[in-house]
Amino acid sequence: MYTYEYPRPALSVDCVIFGLDENELKVLLIERGHDPYAGCWAFPGGFVDMDETTEAAAKRELWEETGLQNMFMEQLYTFSDVHRDPRGRVVSVAYYALVKLSDVKDQVSASSDAQKAEWFPVNSLPALAFDHAKIFDTAFTRLKGKVRYQPLGFELLPEKFTLSQLQKLYELILNKELDKRNFRKKILSMALLIELPERQKGVSHRAAKLYQFDKVKYKELEAKGFSFEL
Amino acid sequence: MYTYEYPRPALSVDCVIFGLDENELKVLLIERGHDPYAGCWAFPGGFVDMDETTEAAAKRELWEETGLQNMFMEQLYTFSDVHRDPRGRVVSVAYYALVKLSDVKDQVSASSDAQKAEWFPVNSLPALAFDHAKIFDTAFTRLKGKVRYQPLGFELLPEKFTLSQLQKLYELILNKELDKRNFRKKILSMALLIELPERQKGVSHRAAKLYQFDKVKYKELEAKGFSFEL
DNA sequence: TCAAAAGTGTTCCGAATACACCCATGA
DNA sequence: TCATGGGTGTATTCGGAACACTTTTGA
Protein backbone atom coordinates (compact mmCIF):
# COMPACT_ATOMS: atom_id res chain seq x y z
CA MET A 1 0.00 0.00 0.00
CA TYR A 2 1.15 3.50 -0.83
CA THR A 3 0.32 6.54 1.21
CA TYR A 4 1.07 10.23 1.16
CA GLU A 5 2.37 11.65 4.39
CA TYR A 6 2.12 15.34 3.60
CA PRO A 7 -0.20 17.78 5.33
CA ARG A 8 -3.42 18.16 3.39
CA PRO A 9 -5.81 21.04 2.87
CA ALA A 10 -9.33 20.36 4.12
CA LEU A 11 -11.83 19.82 1.32
CA SER A 12 -15.31 21.29 1.36
CA VAL A 13 -18.20 21.90 -1.01
CA ASP A 14 -20.50 24.89 -1.38
CA CYS A 15 -23.75 25.17 -3.33
CA VAL A 16 -25.25 28.16 -5.03
CA ILE A 17 -28.94 27.35 -5.45
CA PHE A 18 -30.96 29.46 -7.83
CA GLY A 19 -34.72 29.63 -7.74
CA LEU A 20 -37.26 31.69 -9.64
CA ASP A 21 -39.79 33.44 -7.42
CA GLU A 22 -42.52 35.18 -9.37
CA ASN A 23 -40.54 37.79 -11.21
CA GLU A 24 -37.28 37.55 -9.37
CA LEU A 25 -34.29 35.29 -9.45
CA LYS A 26 -33.18 34.30 -5.96
CA VAL A 27 -30.50 32.29 -4.20
CA LEU A 28 -30.69 30.33 -1.01
CA LEU A 29 -28.50 31.38 1.91
CA ILE A 30 -27.94 29.99 5.37
CA GLU A 31 -27.31 32.17 8.37
CA ARG A 32 -24.17 31.05 10.16
CA GLY A 33 -24.70 30.21 13.81
CA HIS A 34 -21.11 30.42 14.99
CA ASP A 35 -17.71 31.85 14.21
CA PRO A 36 -16.09 32.47 11.93
CA TYR A 37 -18.58 34.82 10.33
CA ALA A 38 -21.30 34.16 12.94
CA GLY A 39 -24.46 35.99 11.87
CA CYS A 40 -23.23 36.28 8.31
CA TRP A 41 -24.95 34.58 5.43
CA ALA A 42 -23.31 31.84 3.41
CA PHE A 43 -24.10 29.23 0.82
CA PRO A 44 -24.98 25.81 2.18
CA GLY A 45 -21.99 23.51 2.23
CA GLY A 46 -19.69 21.43 4.35
CA PHE A 47 -16.83 18.99 4.36
CA VAL A 48 -16.33 16.10 2.02
CA ASP A 49 -16.33 12.66 3.59
CA MET A 50 -13.68 10.10 2.71
CA ASP A 51 -16.11 7.80 0.97
CA GLU A 52 -18.10 10.20 -1.20
CA THR A 53 -17.46 12.23 -4.32
CA THR A 54 -17.65 16.00 -4.12
CA GLU A 55 -20.92 15.88 -6.01
CA ALA A 56 -22.36 13.43 -3.49
CA ALA A 57 -21.15 15.66 -0.69
CA ALA A 58 -22.84 18.67 -2.26
CA LYS A 59 -26.11 16.78 -2.56
CA ARG A 60 -25.87 15.43 0.96
CA GLU A 61 -25.16 18.83 2.47
CA LEU A 62 -28.00 20.33 0.54
CA TRP A 63 -30.35 17.68 1.77
CA GLU A 64 -29.18 18.04 5.35
CA GLU A 65 -29.34 21.79 5.43
CA THR A 66 -32.34 22.53 3.28
CA GLY A 67 -34.25 19.31 2.63
CA LEU A 68 -33.89 19.82 -1.11
CA GLN A 69 -33.00 17.02 -3.49
CA ASN A 70 -33.26 15.87 -7.08
CA MET A 71 -32.57 19.20 -8.61
CA PHE A 72 -30.32 20.05 -11.52
CA MET A 73 -26.77 20.43 -10.24
CA GLU A 74 -23.44 21.00 -11.92
CA GLN A 75 -19.89 21.57 -10.80
CA LEU A 76 -18.95 25.23 -10.94
CA TYR A 77 -15.35 25.83 -9.96
CA THR A 78 -12.83 24.97 -7.29
CA PHE A 79 -11.74 27.80 -5.02
CA SER A 80 -8.37 27.42 -3.38
CA ASP A 81 -7.11 30.77 -2.16
CA VAL A 82 -4.79 30.06 0.73
CA HIS A 83 -6.54 32.41 3.12
CA ARG A 84 -10.14 31.97 2.04
CA ASP A 85 -11.04 30.41 5.40
CA PRO A 86 -9.68 31.92 8.62
CA ARG A 87 -9.73 28.54 10.33
CA GLY A 88 -6.98 27.19 8.11
CA ARG A 89 -6.46 25.81 4.67
CA VAL A 90 -9.74 24.84 3.08
CA VAL A 91 -10.20 24.20 -0.61
CA SER A 92 -13.80 24.29 -1.73
CA VAL A 93 -15.42 22.72 -4.76
CA ALA A 94 -18.43 24.85 -5.61
CA TYR A 95 -21.58 23.61 -7.32
CA TYR A 96 -24.56 25.47 -8.63
CA ALA A 97 -28.08 24.14 -8.69
CA LEU A 98 -31.43 25.13 -10.16
CA VAL A 99 -34.71 24.38 -8.41
CA LYS A 100 -38.35 24.77 -9.26
CA LEU A 101 -38.94 27.20 -6.45
CA SER A 102 -42.70 27.08 -6.84
CA ASP A 103 -42.61 23.41 -5.82
CA VAL A 104 -40.33 23.68 -2.83
CA LYS A 105 -40.72 27.10 -1.33
CA ASP A 106 -42.30 25.96 1.92
CA GLN A 107 -40.30 22.82 2.13
CA VAL A 108 -37.09 24.72 2.69
CA SER A 109 -38.07 26.72 5.72
CA ALA A 110 -39.80 23.68 7.23
CA SER A 111 -36.85 21.32 7.10
CA SER A 112 -34.08 23.70 8.02
CA ASP A 113 -35.00 23.87 11.65
CA ALA A 114 -31.55 24.11 13.12
CA GLN A 115 -30.38 26.83 10.76
CA LYS A 116 -32.09 29.79 9.27
CA ALA A 117 -32.40 29.47 5.50
CA GLU A 118 -33.70 32.25 3.32
CA TRP A 119 -34.11 33.12 -0.33
CA PHE A 120 -32.51 36.40 -1.39
CA PRO A 121 -32.93 38.23 -4.70
CA VAL A 122 -29.70 38.02 -6.66
CA ASN A 123 -29.61 41.79 -6.89
CA SER A 124 -29.70 42.45 -3.18
CA LEU A 125 -27.62 39.94 -1.32
CA PRO A 126 -26.49 40.53 2.24
CA ALA A 127 -22.80 40.42 3.18
CA LEU A 128 -21.51 36.92 2.57
CA ALA A 129 -19.05 34.87 4.58
CA PHE A 130 -15.65 33.68 3.31
CA ASP A 131 -15.14 34.20 -0.43
CA HIS A 132 -18.78 33.45 -1.12
CA ALA A 133 -19.32 36.75 -2.93
CA LYS A 134 -16.74 35.57 -5.44
CA ILE A 135 -18.39 32.18 -5.66
CA PHE A 136 -21.72 33.85 -6.30
CA ASP A 137 -20.29 36.00 -9.10
CA THR A 138 -18.80 32.95 -10.74
CA ALA A 139 -22.08 31.08 -10.48
CA PHE A 140 -24.24 33.90 -11.80
CA THR A 141 -21.89 34.55 -14.69
CA ARG A 142 -21.95 30.86 -15.53
CA LEU A 143 -25.73 30.75 -15.40
CA LYS A 144 -26.06 33.78 -17.65
CA GLY A 145 -23.60 32.33 -20.12
CA LYS A 146 -24.96 28.82 -20.18
CA VAL A 147 -28.66 29.58 -20.28
CA ARG A 148 -28.27 30.79 -23.85
CA TYR A 149 -27.03 27.55 -25.30
CA GLN A 150 -28.41 24.94 -22.94
CA PRO A 151 -32.03 24.50 -21.90
CA LEU A 152 -31.38 25.36 -18.26
CA GLY A 153 -34.33 27.68 -17.97
CA PHE A 154 -36.81 24.85 -17.66
CA GLU A 155 -35.14 23.68 -14.46
CA LEU A 156 -36.31 26.88 -12.81
CA LEU A 157 -39.92 26.78 -13.98
CA PRO A 158 -42.73 24.49 -12.83
CA GLU A 159 -43.37 21.40 -14.96
CA LYS A 160 -46.18 23.22 -16.70
CA PHE A 161 -45.58 26.79 -17.71
CA THR A 162 -46.77 29.46 -20.10
CA LEU A 163 -44.69 30.99 -22.85
CA SER A 164 -44.85 34.31 -21.08
CA GLN A 165 -43.35 32.81 -17.97
CA LEU A 166 -40.56 31.33 -20.04
CA GLN A 167 -39.91 34.62 -21.77
CA LYS A 168 -39.87 36.55 -18.52
CA LEU A 169 -37.36 34.09 -17.12
CA TYR A 170 -35.01 34.65 -20.02
CA GLU A 171 -35.46 38.38 -19.79
CA LEU A 172 -34.54 38.24 -16.12
CA ILE A 173 -31.44 36.15 -16.56
CA LEU A 174 -30.18 37.80 -19.72
CA ASN A 175 -31.22 41.19 -18.40
CA LYS A 176 -32.76 42.46 -21.62
CA GLU A 177 -36.18 42.63 -23.18
CA LEU A 178 -37.20 40.18 -25.85
CA ASP A 179 -39.81 40.59 -28.57
CA LYS A 180 -42.82 38.44 -27.79
CA ARG A 181 -43.55 37.26 -31.31
CA ASN A 182 -39.95 36.54 -32.16
CA PHE A 183 -39.39 34.72 -28.92
CA ARG A 184 -42.40 32.47 -29.46
CA LYS A 185 -41.52 31.82 -33.07
CA LYS A 186 -38.02 30.78 -32.14
CA ILE A 187 -38.79 28.63 -29.14
CA LEU A 188 -41.67 26.86 -30.86
CA SER A 189 -39.62 26.27 -34.00
CA MET A 190 -37.28 24.08 -31.97
CA ALA A 191 -40.24 21.77 -31.37
CA LEU A 192 -39.07 20.99 -27.88
CA LEU A 193 -42.21 22.14 -26.12
CA ILE A 194 -45.25 19.95 -25.68
CA GLU A 195 -48.48 21.90 -25.83
CA LEU A 196 -50.76 20.63 -23.09
CA PRO A 197 -54.55 20.39 -23.35
CA GLU A 198 -54.76 22.72 -20.39
CA ARG A 199 -54.76 26.38 -19.68
CA GLN A 200 -53.86 28.71 -16.90
CA LYS A 201 -56.50 29.07 -14.21
CA GLY A 202 -57.73 31.89 -12.05
CA VAL A 203 -56.25 34.77 -13.98
CA SER A 204 -58.30 37.84 -14.73
CA HIS A 205 -57.46 37.89 -18.38
CA ARG A 206 -57.37 35.44 -21.23
CA ALA A 207 -55.89 32.18 -19.92
CA ALA A 208 -52.61 31.14 -21.48
CA LYS A 209 -51.82 27.69 -22.86
CA LEU A 210 -49.58 25.52 -20.73
CA TYR A 211 -46.48 23.85 -22.11
CA GLN A 212 -44.05 21.24 -20.93
CA PHE A 213 -40.40 20.81 -21.92
CA ASP A 214 -39.77 17.61 -23.89
CA LYS A 215 -36.61 16.39 -22.19
CA VAL A 216 -36.57 13.07 -24.00
CA LYS A 217 -36.71 14.70 -27.40
CA TYR A 218 -34.04 17.17 -26.40
CA LYS A 219 -31.68 14.36 -25.40
CA GLU A 220 -32.27 12.68 -28.75
CA LEU A 221 -31.66 15.80 -30.76
CA GLU A 222 -28.64 16.71 -28.68
CA ALA A 223 -27.10 13.31 -29.38
CA LYS A 224 -27.57 14.00 -33.10
CA GLY A 225 -25.63 17.24 -32.85
CA PHE A 226 -28.51 19.66 -32.39
CA SER A 227 -27.70 22.57 -30.18
CA PHE A 228 -30.24 24.58 -28.27
CA GLU A 229 -29.66 28.27 -28.69
CA LEU A 230 -31.68 31.24 -27.75
CA MET B 1 -8.16 28.92 16.51
CA TYR B 2 -10.53 26.49 14.86
CA THR B 3 -9.44 23.27 13.28
CA TYR B 4 -11.06 20.35 11.57
CA GLU B 5 -10.07 16.99 12.93
CA TYR B 6 -11.58 14.81 10.25
CA PRO B 7 -9.57 12.67 7.84
CA ARG B 8 -8.96 14.51 4.59
CA PRO B 9 -8.62 13.40 1.00
CA ALA B 10 -5.25 14.20 -0.53
CA LEU B 11 -5.41 17.02 -3.07
CA SER B 12 -3.55 16.94 -6.35
CA VAL B 13 -3.49 18.76 -9.68
CA ASP B 14 -3.13 17.42 -13.21
CA CYS B 15 -2.46 19.34 -16.42
CA VAL B 16 -3.56 18.56 -19.92
CA ILE B 17 -1.21 20.50 -22.18
CA PHE B 18 -2.18 20.94 -25.80
CA GLY B 19 0.30 21.88 -28.49
CA LEU B 20 0.01 22.23 -32.24
CA ASP B 21 2.68 20.34 -34.18
CA GLU B 22 2.56 21.00 -37.90
CA ASN B 23 -0.79 19.56 -38.77
CA GLU B 24 -1.54 17.68 -35.63
CA LEU B 25 -2.87 18.55 -32.22
CA LYS B 26 -0.86 16.89 -29.48
CA VAL B 27 -0.79 16.54 -25.71
CA LEU B 28 2.16 16.15 -23.41
CA LEU B 29 2.44 12.98 -21.35
CA ILE B 30 4.92 11.80 -18.75
CA GLU B 31 5.94 8.18 -18.43
CA ARG B 32 5.49 7.00 -14.87
CA GLY B 33 8.62 5.60 -13.27
CA HIS B 34 7.03 3.67 -10.43
CA ASP B 35 3.85 2.06 -9.23
CA PRO B 36 1.02 2.49 -9.36
CA TYR B 37 0.82 2.44 -13.15
CA ALA B 38 4.61 2.16 -13.62
CA GLY B 39 5.38 2.37 -17.32
CA CYS B 40 2.02 3.94 -18.06
CA TRP B 41 1.64 7.44 -19.39
CA ALA B 42 -0.03 10.19 -17.41
CA PHE B 43 -0.55 13.93 -17.43
CA PRO B 44 2.00 15.93 -15.47
CA GLY B 45 0.78 16.74 -11.99
CA GLY B 46 1.37 16.36 -8.30
CA PHE B 47 0.23 17.30 -4.86
CA VAL B 48 -0.87 20.72 -3.73
CA ASP B 49 1.26 22.34 -1.04
CA MET B 50 -0.33 23.97 1.98
CA ASP B 51 0.72 27.46 0.94
CA GLU B 52 -0.21 27.55 -2.73
CA THR B 53 -3.42 27.71 -4.73
CA THR B 54 -4.26 24.83 -7.01
CA GLU B 55 -3.42 27.03 -9.97
CA ALA B 56 0.00 27.79 -8.53
CA ALA B 57 0.50 24.08 -7.89
CA ALA B 58 -0.39 23.28 -11.49
CA LYS B 59 2.11 25.83 -12.78
CA ARG B 60 4.80 24.67 -10.39
CA GLU B 61 4.38 21.03 -11.33
CA LEU B 62 4.45 21.91 -14.98
CA TRP B 63 7.64 23.84 -14.54
CA GLU B 64 9.28 21.09 -12.50
CA GLU B 65 8.30 18.29 -14.82
CA THR B 66 8.54 19.91 -18.22
CA GLY B 67 10.30 23.26 -17.91
CA LEU B 68 7.29 25.00 -19.43
CA GLN B 69 5.90 28.26 -18.11
CA ASN B 70 3.90 31.34 -19.03
CA MET B 71 1.37 29.55 -21.14
CA PHE B 72 -2.38 30.01 -21.22
CA MET B 73 -3.91 27.90 -18.46
CA GLU B 74 -7.42 27.48 -17.14
CA GLN B 75 -9.12 25.33 -14.55
CA LEU B 76 -10.90 22.40 -16.15
CA TYR B 77 -12.77 20.31 -13.60
CA THR B 78 -12.29 18.60 -10.26
CA PHE B 79 -12.26 14.81 -10.28
CA SER B 80 -13.20 13.12 -7.07
CA ASP B 81 -14.16 9.51 -7.69
CA VAL B 82 -13.47 7.64 -4.51
CA HIS B 83 -11.33 4.99 -6.18
CA ARG B 84 -9.62 7.02 -8.85
CA ASP B 85 -6.22 6.45 -7.22
CA PRO B 86 -5.32 2.99 -5.88
CA ARG B 87 -3.10 4.50 -3.20
CA GLY B 88 -6.03 6.03 -1.38
CA ARG B 89 -8.38 8.94 -1.56
CA VAL B 90 -7.04 11.60 -3.89
CA VAL B 91 -9.12 14.42 -5.32
CA SER B 92 -7.57 16.09 -8.32
CA VAL B 93 -8.16 19.54 -9.72
CA ALA B 94 -7.44 19.35 -13.43
CA TYR B 95 -6.20 22.23 -15.58
CA TYR B 96 -5.71 22.51 -19.27
CA ALA B 97 -3.06 24.59 -20.96
CA LEU B 98 -2.22 25.71 -24.47
CA VAL B 99 1.37 26.19 -25.62
CA LYS B 100 3.01 27.49 -28.74
CA LEU B 101 4.63 24.18 -29.49
CA SER B 102 6.84 25.61 -32.19
CA ASP B 103 8.58 27.71 -29.54
CA VAL B 104 9.11 25.05 -26.91
CA LYS B 105 9.41 21.72 -28.62
CA ASP B 106 13.05 21.10 -27.77
CA GLN B 107 12.82 22.74 -24.39
CA VAL B 108 10.57 20.02 -23.07
CA SER B 109 12.72 17.01 -23.79
CA ALA B 110 15.81 18.88 -22.58
CA SER B 111 14.51 19.86 -19.18
CA SER B 112 12.62 16.74 -18.28
CA ASP B 113 15.71 14.68 -17.59
CA ALA B 114 14.40 12.62 -14.72
CA GLN B 115 11.18 11.65 -16.46
CA LYS B 116 10.38 10.85 -20.02
CA ALA B 117 8.04 13.42 -21.50
CA GLU B 118 6.56 13.03 -24.94
CA TRP B 119 4.01 14.69 -27.18
CA PHE B 120 1.26 12.38 -28.45
CA PRO B 121 -1.31 13.12 -31.15
CA VAL B 122 -4.73 13.48 -29.55
CA ASN B 123 -6.08 10.78 -31.82
CA SER B 124 -3.60 8.09 -30.81
CA LEU B 125 -2.94 8.26 -27.13
CA PRO B 126 -1.35 5.36 -25.25
CA ALA B 127 -3.07 3.78 -22.24
CA LEU B 128 -3.31 6.37 -19.51
CA ALA B 129 -2.91 5.98 -15.75
CA PHE B 130 -5.64 6.62 -13.20
CA ASP B 131 -8.75 8.29 -14.64
CA HIS B 132 -6.64 10.34 -17.01
CA ALA B 133 -8.52 9.13 -20.06
CA LYS B 134 -11.61 10.74 -18.58
CA ILE B 135 -9.68 13.89 -17.79
CA PHE B 136 -8.45 14.01 -21.36
CA ASP B 137 -11.96 13.65 -22.76
CA THR B 138 -13.18 16.45 -20.56
CA ALA B 139 -10.30 18.67 -21.64
CA PHE B 140 -10.66 17.99 -25.33
CA THR B 141 -14.40 18.53 -25.23
CA ARG B 142 -13.86 21.80 -23.41
CA LEU B 143 -11.26 22.94 -25.92
CA LYS B 144 -13.52 22.11 -28.85
CA GLY B 145 -16.40 23.94 -27.24
CA LYS B 146 -14.51 26.99 -26.14
CA VAL B 147 -12.40 27.59 -29.20
CA ARG B 148 -15.53 28.69 -31.07
CA TYR B 149 -16.39 31.60 -28.86
CA GLN B 150 -13.07 32.58 -27.33
CA PRO B 151 -9.86 33.33 -29.21
CA LEU B 152 -7.98 30.35 -27.80
CA GLY B 153 -6.55 29.30 -31.12
CA PHE B 154 -3.88 31.96 -31.06
CA GLU B 155 -2.38 30.44 -27.93
CA LEU B 156 -1.42 27.42 -29.98
CA LEU B 157 0.13 29.26 -32.93
CA PRO B 158 3.46 31.12 -33.10
CA GLU B 159 3.29 34.90 -32.58
CA LYS B 160 3.36 35.39 -36.33
CA PHE B 161 1.20 33.12 -38.40
CA THR B 162 -0.51 32.89 -41.76
CA LEU B 163 -4.24 32.77 -42.29
CA SER B 164 -3.88 29.26 -43.67
CA GLN B 165 -2.23 28.11 -40.46
CA LEU B 166 -5.04 29.62 -38.47
CA GLN B 167 -7.66 28.00 -40.65
CA LYS B 168 -5.97 24.59 -40.46
CA LEU B 169 -5.88 24.88 -36.70
CA TYR B 170 -9.61 25.48 -36.53
CA GLU B 171 -10.27 22.67 -38.96
CA LEU B 172 -8.25 20.34 -36.77
CA ILE B 173 -9.95 21.25 -33.53
CA LEU B 174 -13.48 21.50 -34.89
CA ASN B 175 -12.88 18.47 -37.09
CA LYS B 176 -14.50 19.87 -40.19
CA GLU B 177 -13.42 21.67 -43.32
CA LEU B 178 -13.93 25.41 -43.63
CA ASP B 179 -14.28 27.48 -46.76
CA LYS B 180 -11.16 29.54 -47.33
CA ARG B 181 -12.84 32.72 -48.53
CA ASN B 182 -15.54 32.68 -45.90
CA PHE B 183 -13.03 31.98 -43.17
CA ARG B 184 -10.83 34.88 -44.20
CA LYS B 185 -13.73 37.23 -44.61
CA LYS B 186 -15.02 36.44 -41.17
CA ILE B 187 -11.79 36.50 -39.26
CA LEU B 188 -10.60 39.69 -40.94
CA SER B 189 -13.94 41.38 -40.39
CA MET B 190 -13.38 41.16 -36.64
CA ALA B 191 -10.35 43.40 -37.13
CA LEU B 192 -8.42 41.56 -34.46
CA LEU B 193 -5.49 40.60 -36.64
CA ILE B 194 -2.56 42.87 -37.32
CA GLU B 195 -1.17 42.46 -40.79
CA LEU B 196 2.61 42.44 -40.54
CA PRO B 197 4.93 43.90 -43.17
CA GLU B 198 6.46 40.48 -43.54
CA ARG B 199 5.86 37.29 -45.38
CA GLN B 200 6.54 33.63 -45.03
CA LYS B 201 10.05 32.55 -46.04
CA GLY B 202 11.50 29.49 -47.69
CA VAL B 203 8.33 28.06 -49.11
CA SER B 204 8.23 26.80 -52.66
CA HIS B 205 5.08 28.65 -53.52
CA ARG B 206 3.70 32.12 -53.16
CA ALA B 207 4.65 33.38 -49.71
CA ALA B 208 1.76 34.16 -47.40
CA LYS B 209 1.35 37.32 -45.38
CA LEU B 210 2.05 37.04 -41.68
CA TYR B 211 -0.43 38.19 -39.05
CA GLN B 212 -0.42 38.74 -35.34
CA PHE B 213 -3.33 38.58 -32.91
CA ASP B 214 -4.19 41.94 -31.36
CA LYS B 215 -4.66 40.94 -27.75
CA VAL B 216 -4.97 44.51 -26.50
CA LYS B 217 -7.73 45.34 -28.93
CA TYR B 218 -9.51 42.10 -28.10
CA LYS B 219 -9.51 42.93 -24.39
CA GLU B 220 -10.96 46.35 -25.16
CA LEU B 221 -13.71 45.00 -27.37
CA GLU B 222 -14.47 42.21 -24.93
CA ALA B 223 -14.94 44.74 -22.15
CA LYS B 224 -17.45 46.55 -24.38
CA GLY B 225 -19.48 43.40 -24.81
CA PHE B 226 -18.03 42.17 -28.08
CA SER B 227 -17.88 38.43 -28.33
CA PHE B 228 -15.50 36.54 -30.53
CA GLU B 229 -17.23 33.84 -32.45
CA LEU B 230 -16.15 31.64 -35.26
C1' DT C 1 6.76 25.22 -67.00
C1' DC C 2 4.98 22.90 -63.32
C1' DA C 3 3.32 22.22 -58.70
C1' DA C 4 1.52 24.18 -54.67
C1' DA C 5 -0.52 27.24 -51.93
C1' DA C 6 -2.03 32.44 -51.70
C1' DG C 7 -5.39 35.48 -52.52
C1' DT C 8 -9.83 37.44 -53.99
C1' DG C 9 -16.14 38.74 -54.88
C1' DT C 10 -20.65 37.71 -55.82
C1' DT C 11 -24.97 35.42 -55.48
C1' DC C 12 -28.33 33.09 -52.77
C1' DC C 13 -30.82 31.70 -48.89
C1' DG C 14 -32.37 31.48 -44.27
C1' DA C 15 -32.56 33.50 -39.88
C1' DA C 16 -33.00 37.59 -36.99
C1' DT C 17 -35.31 41.81 -36.36
C1' DA C 18 -38.84 45.22 -36.21
C1' DC C 19 -43.37 46.13 -35.75
C1' DA C 20 -49.43 46.57 -34.29
C1' DC C 21 -53.67 44.79 -33.68
C1' DC C 22 -57.55 41.67 -32.14
C1' DC C 23 -58.99 38.13 -28.51
C1' DA C 24 -60.52 36.09 -24.17
C1' DT C 25 -61.35 36.56 -19.40
C1' DG C 26 -62.57 38.09 -14.64
C1' DA C 27 -63.43 41.96 -12.02
C1' DT D 1 -67.13 47.69 -20.22
C1' DC D 2 -62.68 47.87 -18.93
C1' DA D 3 -58.16 46.38 -17.79
C1' DT D 4 -54.91 42.84 -18.44
C1' DG D 5 -52.19 39.88 -20.62
C1' DG D 6 -52.67 36.13 -24.67
C1' DG D 7 -52.02 35.34 -29.17
C1' DT D 8 -50.81 36.08 -34.14
C1' DG D 9 -48.05 37.50 -39.58
C1' DT D 10 -45.27 40.10 -42.72
C1' DA D 11 -41.66 42.87 -44.66
C1' DT D 12 -36.82 44.00 -44.27
C1' DT D 13 -32.20 43.35 -43.22
C1' DC D 14 -28.04 40.96 -42.25
C1' DG D 15 -25.05 37.34 -41.94
C1' DG D 16 -23.74 32.50 -43.41
C1' DA D 17 -22.93 29.35 -47.17
C1' DA D 18 -21.73 28.07 -51.66
C1' DC D 19 -18.71 28.56 -55.25
C1' DA D 20 -13.76 29.11 -59.26
C1' DC D 21 -10.23 31.38 -61.04
C1' DT D 22 -5.78 34.19 -61.15
C1' DT D 23 -1.28 35.10 -58.83
C1' DT D 24 3.18 34.20 -56.94
C1' DT D 25 7.06 31.49 -55.94
C1' DG D 26 10.76 27.87 -55.85
C1' DA D 27 12.03 23.75 -57.70
Question: Quick count: other Cβ atoms within 10 Å of Cβ B195?
Answer: 11
Tell which of B100, B126, B146 closes a domain: B146
Q: What is the CATH number of the domain that holds A85?
A: 3.90.79.10
In a domain, A3, yes or no: no
Question: For B20-88, what is the HEC assignment?
Answer: EECCEEEEEEEECCCCCCCCCEECCEEECCCCCCHHHHHHHHHHHHHCCCCCEEEEEEEECCCCCCCCC
Q: Determine whether the interchain pair B87/A4 forms a contact, defined as Cβ–Cβ distance below 8 Å.
A: yes
Tell which of B146, B167, B191 closes a domain: B146
Using a CB-CB cut-off of 8 Å, the residues of chain B touching A87 are 1-4
Predicted pLDDT of residue A104: 81
Q: Is B142 in the same domain as B164?
A: no
Tell me the shortest Cα–Cα distance from A84 to chain B, in angstroms. Answer: 10
Q: Is B135 in the same domain as B165?
A: no
Q: Is B77 in the same domain as B43?
A: yes
Å between CA of B124 and C1' of C12: 41
Domain containing residue A133: 10-146
In a domain, B217, yes or no: yes
Predicted pLDDT of residue B102: 82
In a domain, B228, yes or no: no
Instruction: Say if residues A188 and A230 touch (Cβ distance below 8 Å).
Output: no
Using a CB-CB cut-off of 8 Å, the residues of chain B touching A33 are none
Q: Which of A191, A216, A200, A195 is nearest to A165 (CA)?
A: A200
Q: Is A161 in the same domain as A193?
A: yes
Predicted pLDDT of residue A107: 74
Number of domains in chain B: 2
- Note the pLDDT tens digit of each residue in B153-168: 999 999 999 999 999 9
Predicted pLDDT of residue B1: 47
- Measured CA to CA, the distance from residue A183 to residue A111 in angstroms comes to 39
Biggest CA–CA distance in chain B, Å, is: 71
Predicted pLDDT of residue A157: 96
- Note the pLDDT tens digit of each residue in B94-113: 999 999 998 887 777 655 55
Q: Is B185 in the same domain as B168?
A: yes
* A80 in reach of chain B (CB within 8 A): yes
Tell which of B128, B146, B164 closes a domain: B146
Q: Is A23 in the same domain as A117?
A: yes
B134's enclosing H/E stretch is helix B132-146
In a domain, B2, yes or no: no
Q: Taking all atoms of strand D, which protein residues have CB closer than 7 Å?
A: A 162-164, 180-182, 184-185, 199, 204-209; B 179-182, 186, 203-207, 229
Residue of A nearest to B76 (CA): A77
What's the first-to-final CA gap in chain A, in angstroms? 52
Q: Is A23 in the same domain as A120?
A: yes
Interface test with B, best of A49, A55, A78 (most B CBs within 10 A): A78
In a domain, B79, yes or no: yes
Q: Is B25 in the same domain as B110?
A: yes
Q: Is B136 in the same domain as B65?
A: yes
Q: Which amino acid makes up residue B125?
A: L
Q: What is the mean pLDDT of each successive set of 10 residues along chain A, which is 230 residues long?
A: 75 98 93 91 97 98 92 98 96 98 74 77 97 98 95 96 97 95 97 96 94 96 91
* B170 in reach of chain A (CB within 8 A): no
Predicted pLDDT of residue A110: 57
- Measured CA to CA, the distance from residue B181 to residue B160 in angstroms comes to 20
Q: Looking at chain B, how many residues does it have?
A: 230
Low-confidence ranges of chain B (pLDDT < 50): 1
Predicted pLDDT of residue A1: 47
Q: Is B108 in the same domain as B164?
A: no
In a domain, B95, yes or no: yes
Predicted pLDDT of residue B112: 54
Using a CB-CB cut-off of 8 Å, the residues of chain A touching B47 are 4, 6
In a domain, A2, yes or no: no
Using a CB-CB cut-off of 8 Å, the residues of chain B touching A53 are 80-82
Predicted pLDDT of residue A191: 95
Q: What is the CATH number of the domain that holds B196?
A: 1.10.10.10
In a domain, A118, yes or no: yes
Q: Is B107 in the same domain as B76?
A: yes
Å between CA of B199 and C1' of C7: 13
Predicted pLDDT of residue A102: 83
Model pTM?
0.94
Q: Is B15 in the same domain as B31?
A: yes
Å between CA of A103 and C1' of D4: 26
